[in-house]
Chain A
Amino acid sequence: MKDETLPALTGLCAKCGTCRTVCTLYPERKAEIAVARGKVALLEAALSGDDPDAESVQEALTDCLLCGRCERACPNQVLVEEIIMKGRADLAEEVGIPAWKSILFGKVMASPGATAAARKAAAAGERLLLSRVPTGSGLHYRFPGGLGTGGRTVPELPARGFVESLRKREAASGEVMLFVGCVFDHVFPQVGRAAYETVRASGKSVAVLRDAACCGLPAMVSGDRRSAMTCVEGNLRRLRSADPETIVFPCGSCLLMFRRNIPSLVPKGTPLHEDALWVADRSTDYASFLLASGVVDRLPEPPAGERAGEIGYHDPCHLSGTLGKGPEAREVLRRAAGSGFAEMEGADRCCGYGGTFNVRDYPTSARIGEGKVSLAARGGTKVISTACSGCVLQMRDMAARVDPSLRVVHIAELVAQALARGEGAAPRR
Chain B
Amino acid sequence: MMDPKALAALGELLGDRLRTSLETRICYSYDATGKRFLPDAVAHPVDAEEVRRIVLLANRHRFPVVPRGAGSGFSGGSLPVHGGVVLSTERMDRLVAIDTENLYAVVEPGVVTETLKEEARRRGLFYPPDPASLKFSTIGGNIAECAGGMCAVKYGVTRDYVLGLEAVLGTGELVRTGVSTVKGVVGYDLTRMLVGSEGTLGIVTRATLRLVPLPEAAATMLALFPGNREAAGAVNAVVAARVTPSAMELMDRTAIDCVLAVVPIPLPEGTGSALLLEVDGPAPSVARDADRLAEVCRACGAIEVRRASDARGREELWKLRRSISPGLRRLAPVKMNEDIVVPRSRLADMFDFLAGLSARKRVRIVNFGHAGDGNIHVNVMTSGTDADETRRAEEAVEEVFRKTVEVGGTISGEHGIGIAKAPFLEMEVGPLGVSVMKRLKECFDPNGILNPGKIFLSEAAVRG
A interface residue numbers (CB < 8 A to B): 11-12, 14-18, 20-21, 30-33, 38, 41-42, 45, 50-53, 56-57, 60, 75-77
Contacts and interface: CB of A to CB of B under 8 A. Distances in A.
Given A14-B34, A17-B136, A31-B44, A52 B23 contact: yes
Contacts of B71: 15, 17, 32
A53 B22 contact: yes
A163 B451 CA distance: 65
A12 B328 CA distance: 12
A42 B23 contact: yes
Given A17-B133, A17-B136, A30-B90, A12 B329 contact: yes
Contacts of B31: 15
A32 B90 CA distance: 9
B28 interface: yes
8 contacts: A15-B71, A16-B133, A17-B137, A21-B136, A31-B90, A32-B27, A33-B27, A41-B27
Nearest to A44: B26
Contacts of A76: 326, 329
B383 interface: no
A39 B342 CA distance: 40
Nearest to A60: B23
Given A17-B133, A42-B26, A56-B21, A75 B325 contact: yes
Contacts of A30: 44, 90-91, 93
A17 B93 contact: no
Contacts of A77: 326
B70 A75 contact: no
A18 B136 contact: yes
Given A30-B90, A38-B27, A56-B23, 10 more contacts: A11-B333, A16-B133, A17-B32, A17-B71, A21-B135, A30-B44, A32-B27, A32-B71, A41-B30, A56-B21
A57 B23 CA distance: 7
Contacts of A56: 21-23
A260 to B, nearest CB: 23
A32 B71 CA distance: 9
A76 B327 CA distance: 8
B309 interface: no
A292 B313 CA distance: 33
Classify the secondary structure of B's interface with A: loop
B271 interface: no
Interface string B44-84: 10000000000000000000000000111000000000000
Contacts of B30: 15, 41
Contact of A14 (B21, B26, B32): B32
Interface string B1-42: 000000000000000000001111011111111100000000
Nearest to A27: B93
A70 to B, nearest CB: 12
B23 A33 contact: yes
Given A15-B34, A32-B28, A75 B22 contact: no
Contacts of A33: 23-24, 27
Given A30-B91, A31-B44, A76-B329, A16 B23 contact: no
A12 B28 CA distance: 19
A400 to B, nearest CB: 31
Nearest to B324: A75
A31 B86 CA distance: 12
B25 to A, nearest CB: 9
A31 B71 CA distance: 11
Contacts of A31: 24, 27, 44, 88, 90
Nearest to B21: A56
A15 B27 contact: no
10 tightest A-B CB contacts, nearest first: A75-B326, A17-B72, A38-B27, A32-B27, A21-B135, A56-B23, A30-B90, A20-B136, A33-B27, A21-B136
A16 B72 contact: yes
A26 to B, nearest CB: 9
A53 B325 contact: no
A53 B21 contact: yes
A314 B368 CA distance: 41
- Best-surrounded residue of B22, B24, B27 (most CB of chain A within 10 A): B27
A56 B91 CA distance: 22
A45 B329 contact: no
B135 A18 contact: yes
Nearest to B326: A75
